[in-house]
Amino acid sequence: METKLSRKKIIILIVLGVIILGLLGGVLYYIFKPDPGIEVMVVNPEIKDVIETFDTSATVESSEEGKFTVVDGIMATKVNVKVGDIVKKGDVLVEFDSNSLNSALKEKQESLQQAKTAYNDYNKKITDASSKLSQTEKQIVEAEKLVAKLEKQVEASDTTKKSSQTTEAENKLSSMTNDKNLSKKIVSFLFKNNYSMSDFIDILNKIDSSSQSVDLSSMIGTSITDSAQAKLIEAQLNLASLKISKALYETESKGNLLSVYKTIVDYAQDSYDELKLLKENMSKGWIAEKDGIVSEINIKAGEITVSEKSKGFDISTLINSVSSGTTDIMGILSSFGSEDKIGLVVQYYPLQAKFIIGQSNINNIDLGQSVKIITSSDEEIEGKVSYISAVATSSSNLDIGSLLSGGSSSSVTGVEAKVEIEKPTKDVIIGLDVNLSINIKKSSDAITVPVESIQYDSQNAFVYCVKDFKLYKQPVEVGLFDGSCYEIISGLNINDQIVKSPTSSMKEGMKVIVSIA
C-alpha cells in the first residue's frame, strides 16, 4: 500500500535540508576561506630638505674674568654690588678712600731714598778704593826695596821647626798677601820670638773688606831688642799690610755688588711708582671694563686690607744682608711682596659654551658657524662658533661597549671648541651645561622616509613595500639623518608605498590590508 506524504511534512524536510546544507557550507567556508592579510599603515616617500646636525652638551663659562686685587692698607668706603648682579661697562663697583694709602706711600718713598743712598755710598767706595789701590801699589814698590835692603844687612836664616799653627798662619797670610815667601819669613820671625801663633791667626781673621787700612805692626805690638832685626820685621810687616790692603782695594774697586744695589733701587722705585699709580686709580674706584655678572666679593665697606705676608718693604734689612755678602737679592725681594687678595670678580660677557668636537666632525664645523643653544627650560637661543683649538685633546668618557666587555672607560680624542652666546637668558648659568645643535650637512629635495620605516638585516638596510596587497623587502641606501627621517639615496621612488612602522612579525610575501597614514 503506498503512503503519500502530506504537504506539511514535505515542507519540513525541505527546511531541514536547507539548514543542513547551510551548516555544511559554513563549516567548509571556515576551513577553506582565503586569508585577508594583516592591516598595515603605508606612506609614500616624501621630497624635502634633510639637515644633519651635530648635537652635544657644553659647559657655560665666561669669555673673560675681571679680577680686582685689593691693595694693602686701602679702605673700601662703599660696595655697590652683590654676587649675581648684572653690571654694565663703566659701572663703579666699589669706592675707596685713597688717602688711606698715604702712610704706605710715604714708607715706600723713604725706602726708595734709603736705597739710593746705599747705592751712592757703595759707588763712592768703588771710586775711593780705585784711588787707594793706585797709591798702595806705589807704596808696595818702595816697601819691597826696603825689605830687600834690610834682608841683606840681617842675612837671617830659617832653622825654625814648623808646627801645625805656624803652617796655618803661613797659609792664611800668604792667601791675603799673595806672597808666600814674605809670609814664611814673618811667621818664622814671630815664632822664634815666642809670639803666639793662635793670637796671630786671630788677628788675620779679623781683617775683612770693611777694614779701611791694615797695620800688622800695630796690631801685633811686637817688642824687639835687636835694632837691625826690628827694622827688618817692621818693614816686612809693613809690606804685608800693604799687600793685604791692595787685595782688599782690588776687590772693592771691581764693584761686584754694584748691580745688586742697583737692583734694590729699581725694586724700590717700581714699588713706589706702582703704589702711587694705584692710589690715583683707587680714587676712581673699581670700574667694570665690560658688561658682565658679579660672581665673587671678598671685601667689605669700612675694612682696611692687610695681607697675610710682609706689610712693607724692609730696605734696611735688605741692605744689611747685601753688605754682609748675601747676593741672592731676588730671593730676598720675593719675601717682601704682599700676597694678592682678590676682592671682587666679574664674569664679563659674552658668555661662551665649551665643548669637544669629535674626530669625525672636525671638518664639518667652522668658525662663525651658527649654533642653536637649548637651555634647561628648552628655550632656544642663538650662538656662533667663536673658537676651535688647533691641538687635539683627550678625555675619559663612559663607554657602554667597554662596560659590557669588562672595561670602565675609553679615551675620546677631539678638539676643544667654544660657542659665543650672543644674548644669554637667565637660564644660561656659568658652570652649568646647555645643549648645542649645529647644522653640519644638508641634502636638498631628497627622497625621505620616516626613521621607523628603516629596517636592517645582515646585509643592508631595507623597507617593506606593498604591492598587490603583499609585502616585499626593498633594499635601500640611506644618506643623511635629521632625527626624524632618513635621506634615501637609492632604492625607492616617490610613488612607492612603504610600511610606516614595521613589526618584527612581518615577513616578505605576507598579505596585507592597506590603510593610508
Helix (H) or strand (E) holding 419: strand 410-421
Sequence-ordered list of residues with C-beta below 8 angstroms from that of 235, at least 6 positions apart, any chain: 143, 146, 147, 150
CB atoms inside a 10 Å sphere around CB 463: 25
Helix (H, G, I), strand (E, B) or coil at 33: coil
How much is the pLDDT for 403? 39
Long-range contacts of 263-266 (CB under 8 A, 24+ apart): 263/329, 263/330, 263/333, 264/115, 264/118, 264/119, 264/315, 264/318, 264/319, 264/322, 264/329, 264/333, 265/112, 265/115, 265/116, 265/119
How much is the pLDDT for 433? 92
The span from the CA of 331 to the CA of 260, in Å, is: 12
CA 457 to chain centre: 51
Is residue 456 within 8 A of residue 448, CB to CB? The reply is no
Q: Where does residue 294 rank: exposed (0-12), middle (13-18), buried (19+ CB within 10 A)? A: buried
How much is the pLDDT for 45? 95
Q: Which three cell numbers stand for residue 395?
A: 678625555
Question: Between β-strands 38-43 and 512-516, what pairing exists: parallel, antiparallel or unpaired?
Answer: parallel
Sign of CA dihedral 338, 342, 344, 350: positive
Could you give the count of Cα atoms lying within 13 Å of 250 in the half-sphere of its Cβ? 11
Is residue 493 within 8 A of residue 45, CB to CB? The reply is yes
Strand partners, 514: 40
How much is the pLDDT for 304? 82
Mean pLDDT by 10 residues, the chain (517 residues): 64 78 68 70 94 93 88 88 91 90 85 88 85 85 83 62 76 83 81 78 76 71 62 78 76 77 85 86 89 90 69 62 60 56 89 91 91 91 92 59 42 84 84 92 94 90 93 94 93 93 91 85
Could you give the count of Cα atoms lying within 13 Å of 446 in the half-sphere of its Cβ? 24
Strand partners, 419: 353, 385
CA 197 to chain centre: 63
Q: Is cis: bond before 36, omega within 30 of 0?
A: no
Q: What is the pTM of this model?
A: 0.49
Long-range contacts of 330-333 (CB under 8 A, 24+ apart): 330/263, 333/263, 333/264, 333/267
Quote the DSSP letter at residue 289.
S
Helix (H, G, I), strand (E, B) or coil at 494: coil
How much is the pLDDT for 307? 57
Residue from 47, 89, 96, 90 nearest 74 by CA: 96
Helix (H) or strand (E) holding 475: strand 470-481
The span from the CA of 219 to the CA of 216, in Å, is: 5
Domains of the chain: 40-49+442-516 (2.40.420.20), 113-253 (no CATH)
CB atoms inside a 10 Å sphere around CB 153: 11
CA 291 to chain centre: 25
CA-based R_g, the chain, Å? 52
The span from the CA of 327 to the CA of 246, in Å, is: 24
The span from the CA of 224 to the CA of 233, in Å, is: 9
The span from the CA of 26 to the CA of 208, in Å, is: 135
The span from the CA of 240 to the CA of 24, in Å, is: 151
Helix (H, G, I), strand (E, B) or coil at 248: helix
Question: Between β-strands 485-490 and 286-287, what pairing exists: parallel, antiparallel or unpaired?
Answer: unpaired
Residue from 344, 480, 366, 356 nearest 417 by CA: 356
Is residue 232 within 8 A of residue 154, CB to CB? The reply is yes
Helix (H, G, I), strand (E, B) or coil at 65: strand
Q: Which three cell numbers stand for residue 369?
A: 658657524
* Residue 318 to residues 106, 122, 157, 264, 428, Cα–Cα distance (Å): 18, 14, 52, 8, 52
